[in-house]
Structure 1
Amino acid sequence: MAEVSLATLVAGLRSGEWLASFPTDTVPALAARCDRGELIFTAKQRQPDKPLILMAATAEQLWPYVQGTARDWSHWKNICDRHWPGPLTVVLPAGKLPSGLNPQDTGTVGLRVPDWPLARCILQQTGPLATTSVNRSGQPPLLDVGAIAQVFPQVLTLGASAWRSPEGPTQPSTVIAWQRGRWQVLRQGAIALGDIELEAF
């Protein structure tokens, strides 16, 4: 697919007919409308036991997709207020989710608000998107628009000038999950969260 304008990329995502890729504060995202997650699974040859992440411009756009007690909400909002926007993905008990986001219905959902202006600009116009890293399943993330276009020619991308400089961070987000009333680190990434901080909430 040829590089497109920002307006065309947003329109393609909102239509539900297209995948798109754009830079974030960690590795680039592969994104689809939140109810068209099956497009990502097909393109990446991804197994259905690996749910997608809901990414949004603000936390307020994501809270409708989770459910918990008042105590749970206090813990969740405290840590998200500290680290969003930023390279932190939180896995929380799911409310009603868009179809195709979590094919095996694990009862959880991963959420993230990126700290990257272009990503949030796109997300403000599309609403929450189903996202993951840009790569074939099991392969390293693709980090530049040329490699993405070569491997995923069907994916909408912006021109190279819109992408981050090569010296930008390339680590994936840190992933933590709320399990039995406390945080568990599932993947250590761009944010180092120690036991003290996790216990403090």
Structure 2
Amino acid sequence: MSTVYDCGELADRAAGLAAASGAVRAGRIVVLPTDTVYGIGCDAFDARAVRGLLEAKGRGPDMPVPVLVGSWTTVDGLVMSVPRQARALIEAFWPGGLSIVLQHAPSLAWDLGHTRGTVMLRMPLHPVALELLRDVGPMAVSSANKSGFPPAVTAADAVSQLGEEVSIYLDGGRCADNTASTIVDLTGPDPLVLREGAVPVQDVRDVLGGQVEVAR
């Protein structure tokens, strides 16, 4: 049975975060608010939980699950190296609506889908999400909707699509900005914007001060 916690109420927020932390550690999936849209998430290192997340969305491993982190320093343990360009983008836009694709550390025991050795990382600008992430560590998080349907901008939207497939819903109110994150791929010779979203391409160019391509 699913439980929805109103994170606008102090006591309910504390109970919800405790329940969500316990669920994630037990290999279950939860729904959490972010600064863009609601996310469905689980322990990034629990391959079975990630498969459950994909099944709940009705999606296959051909679309890998991004990873959310609760601090800048977490990134150092997840990737082969953090290039200068990545650090510049992190300092400029994290926490916030910018996702960065990097080569992940080959020693990590995770299965996020068909990633071809890469991982997409973001630090969200939402207090509930950050508190959960700082408690449980990196989480595999995708938008909280069935594949092909609109992303959830309220907890009720997520419940209507995902229902009992999710054990805990953290209700942080309506998302302030339902624009998806901008995605910058730093695995090639030049930065490549895979998707323009919350952060304009020109802002990325201003920070990196060099050649920035945009995927067509």
Shared fold by TM > 0.5? yes
- The equivalent of 1:58 in structure 2 is 71
SS at 2:131's partner residue?
Answer: helix
> Which consecutive unaligned segments of at least 5 residues does structure 2 have?
6-15, 211-216
Query: SS of the counterpart of 2:77?
Result: helix
Name the amino acid aligned to 2:173: R
- Structure 1 stretches (4+) deviating beyond 4 angstroms? none
The residue number in structure 2 matching 1:136 is 146
1:87-132 C-alpha deviation (Å, 9 max, x unpaired): 100001121344321x324111000001111110111111000011
1:117 aligns with 2:130: no
Residue aligning to 1:100: 111
Q: Say whether residues 1:186 and 2:194 are aligned partners.
A: yes
**1:165/1:148 CA distance change after superposition, 3 Å:** closer
Distance 2:118 2:52 in 1: 20
Match of 2:12 in 1: none
3-state SS, counterpart of residue 118 of structure 1: helix
Q: Deviations over 1:22-55 (max 9, x none)?
A: 1111111110111231111111111211111110
The share of aligned pairs that are identical, in percent, is: 27
Aligned-partner residue type, residue 128 of structure 2: L
**TM-score for the superposition, normalised by structure 2:** 0.82
Q: 1:8 aligns to what?
A: 19
Write the letter of the residue equivalent to 1:46. R
Tell me the TM-score normalized by structure 1: 0.88
Offset at 1:136? Answer: 1.1
Q: d(CA) in 2 for partners of 1:45 and 1:2? A: 22
Q: Say if 1:39 and 1:77 are closer, same or farther in 2 by CA, change over 3 A.
A: same
Unaligned runs of 5+ in 1: none
Contact 1:27 1:141 in 2 (8 A): yes
1:85 maps to what in 2?
Answer: 95
Change (3 A) 1:6 1:63: same
Q: 1:157 aligns with which of 144, 169, 174?
A: 169
Query: Is the Cα–Cα contact under 8 Å of residues 54 and 62 in structure 1 kept in the other structure?
Result: no
Contact 1:66–1:95 (CA under 8 A) maintained in structure 2: yes
Q: Is the 8 A contact 1:24 1:116 kept in 2?
A: yes
- Superposition CA RMSD, Å: 1.8
Instruction: Note if contact 2:153-2:174 (Cα within 8 Å) is conserved in structure 1.
Output: no
1:172 counterpart residue number: 180
Note closer, same or farther for the CA distance 1:44–1:98 as it changes in structure 2 (3 Å cut). Answer: farther
- Kept in 1: contact 2:155–2:173 (CA 8 A): no
Matching residue of 1:49:
62
Instruction: Measure, in 2, the Cα distance between the counterparts of 1:22 and 1:58.
Output: 17
Does structure 2 retain, via aligned residues, the 8 Å contact 1:25–1:86? yes
Q: Is the 8 A contact 1:55 1:131 kept in 2?
A: yes
